[in-house]
Amino acid sequence: MIRDFGTIDVLYLIAAARWTLLLTLVAFAGGAVMGALLAILRVSPFAPLRLVATLFIQIVQGTPLLVWLFLFYFGLSIIGLPVNAWIAATLAFSVYGGAFLGEIWRGALIAIPKTQWEAGAALGLSFLEQMRYIIMPQAVRSAIPPTVGFLVQLIKNTSLAATIGFVELTREGQLTSASTYKPFAVYLTVAAIYFCLCFPLTQWSRSLERKLNVAR
């Protein structure tokens, strides 16, 4: 049954945006844990650990995000581990986020002058102690702006979860468009909601970048 695109449809789209935000937050949390581990491994003094982290990051970054969604959603089912769309999307975006956050944070870590590492070693600190007490507190400042920028990209990339049936903002837009036959109005509204989600973060990222550069 075809119906007009009205206020109730806009409210449905806004309500669906909460799943976009929830998926983003859960995926970012999972990606942050994985990214922190990868960043530490990438600057580790042990070559095998650096190699493993590098290979993982290269594989994930060199593979389309859509492939990871299909891999977790369809691939796990093939080997007898059926998962729903929510779990598959969370796993895929966490892996994706971990690879990119790992590289972002690695860049922040290696930006710290080598003399800081040498000073920590001279004090008798272990590698992990140097990271905790000397390197990380300094690296956080330069890592925040690109991290917030990546969060914006993650919000927009969650739209790919619609391909496995997860009903977030984009998927709700597809369903609404199919029932109203007003794709222009529907997707214009969807775009406006994405803009409202991403624009404040983009401005915050730019503001942080300016402030932290001045602080240097």
d(CA 178, CA 200): 31
With beta carbons less than 8 A apart as the criterion, state whether 14 and 193 touch: yes
| Residue-by-residue pLDDT tens, the chain, 216 positions | 677 888 999 999 999 999 999 999 999 999 999 999 999 999 888 899 999 999 999 999 999 999 999 999 999 888 888 889 999 999 999 999 999 999 999 998 888 888 887 788 888 888 888 888 888 888 888 888 889 889 999 999 999 999 999 999 999 999 999 999 899 999 999 999 999 999 998 888 778 777 766 445
166: in domain: yes
122: in domain: yes
The pair of structure tokens assigned to 177 is 């468009």
155: domain CATH number is 1.10.3720.10
Task: Indicate the pTM of the whole model.
Answer: 0.88
151: in domain: yes
1: in domain: no
Total domains in the fold of the chain: 1
Residue 106 domain boundaries = 7-215
